[in-house]
Amino acid sequence: MVELPLTSDLEFFSILQNELSGLATLQAQEQARLTKEVTALGLTVTKVTEPNRKSAAKTDMAKWRKIFELYLESSIFFSTTELDHGKHDSVKAQALLQAFSDELKRQHVTSTFKKKESSVALEQFLQLNMAVLQSLRFQEINDLAMQKILKKFDKRTALGVKSTFPAALRQSMPRDIAKAICYQVSTELLPIVPRLDDYLCPVCFSISYRPVRLRCQHVFCIRCLVVLQRAKKKHSDFLIKYFPDEAKLKQRENAKAAGVDQYGEAYNNKCVVM
């Protein structure tokens, strides 16, 4: 039996793990910095979009609503469409970010701010996205370098570590900053300015004027609801017609909730024949 010393292999993985740990620390620091920038930017956007009851002309809410709508439509780093689902690479993300910036200029959004702070905040928002893009590039370079290192190591040792990468080293891989920061932007920054789509009446498909919330939690214009009542139409008929699957699911949930209210939590359990 021939024994092969593994000292060199252990040293290789030890060095590799140390380098990956260093990259993870570096990216953690960068993520912490970007997180603070998103929080600070949120405070600025809140200030410049604060509604002014005396004069709507003194707020930039409409402008920032347009900016965020264009930003969501651009899907710079991630897409939820069927044909283009998932995470974008740095090349495509850069092209989409440039297209977003060009669209802002084309619609003259940046030149019609009412408050000086909005121009500064928009520049910070664009710089934030550039930082996320650079982080994405950094991640791709690291992944490519890791693949080449392991491929060369496999070529020399025939150990097949590229396909059976040690779990300990996987844990040392740097985290995806782009995903974390984009999530923070979508949950903390974008909701600062209410979206019109969230306040549309499902009858007239316009903003709900003097809204009325029904038991089903849907919101209608009071005028649209009166029209439905005069036509002797129930709101549930409308929902079942245009949202059949959602309406059926809601009906089952309501029936189940009513059963729990009447019979207690035991209603959720299946019947068992003893």
pTM metric for this prediction:
0.69
Q: Which residue did the predictor score with more confidence, 178 or 36?
A: 36
Burial (Cβ within 10 Å: 0-12, 13-18, ≥19) of residue 262: exposed
Q: What is the DSSP string of 202-266?
A: TTTSSB-SSEEE-TTS-EEEHHHHHHHHHTT--HHHHHHHH-HHHHHHHHHHHHHHHHHHHH-GG
pLDDT above 50: residue 4:
no
As a whole number, the mean pLDDT across the chain is 79
How many angstroms separate the Cα of 56 from the Cα of each of 98, 195, 226?
Answer: 31, 17, 30
Supply 15's token pair: 């060095």
Q: What is the mean pLDDT of residues 79-95?
A: 82
Q: pLDDT tens digits, residue range 189-228?
A: 999 988 877 778 888 878 877 888 877 777 888 888 888 7
Report the pLDDT value the prediction gives residue 237, as an integer from 0 to 100: 60
Give the model's pLDDT for residue 7: 59
Q: What pLDDT was estimated at residue 91?
A: 93
Max mean pLDDT among 50-54, 59-63, 185-189 falls in 185-189
Instruction: Report the distance separating Cα 231 and Cα 225, nearest Å.
Output: 10
pLDDT tens-digit readout, 88-126: 889 999 999 999 999 999 988 877 888 889 999 999 999
Q: Would residue 138 be called left, alpha or beta, if left means φ above 0 and alpha means ψ between -120 and 50 degrees?
A: alpha
**20 CB-near residues (< 8 Å, 6+ apart):** 169, 172, 173, 174
Question: Right CATH number for 195-232 from 3.40.309.10, 3.30.40.10, 1.10.1740.10, 3.40.50.2000?
Answer: 3.30.40.10
For residue 103, what are its two tokens?
Answer: 């669209």
pLDDT digits (tens, 9 = 90+) for 136-176: 998 888 888 887 887 887 777 776 666 666 555 555 555 67
Residue 71 pLDDT level (bands cut at 50, 70, 90)? very high
Q: What is the pLDDT of residue 27?
A: 85
Nearest-angstrom CA–CA distance, 6 and 3: 9
Dihedral pair phi/psi, residue 120, rounded to 5°: -65, -40
Beta bridge partners of residue 78, listed in sequence order: 87
Query: What percent of the chain has pLDDT above 90?
Result: 25
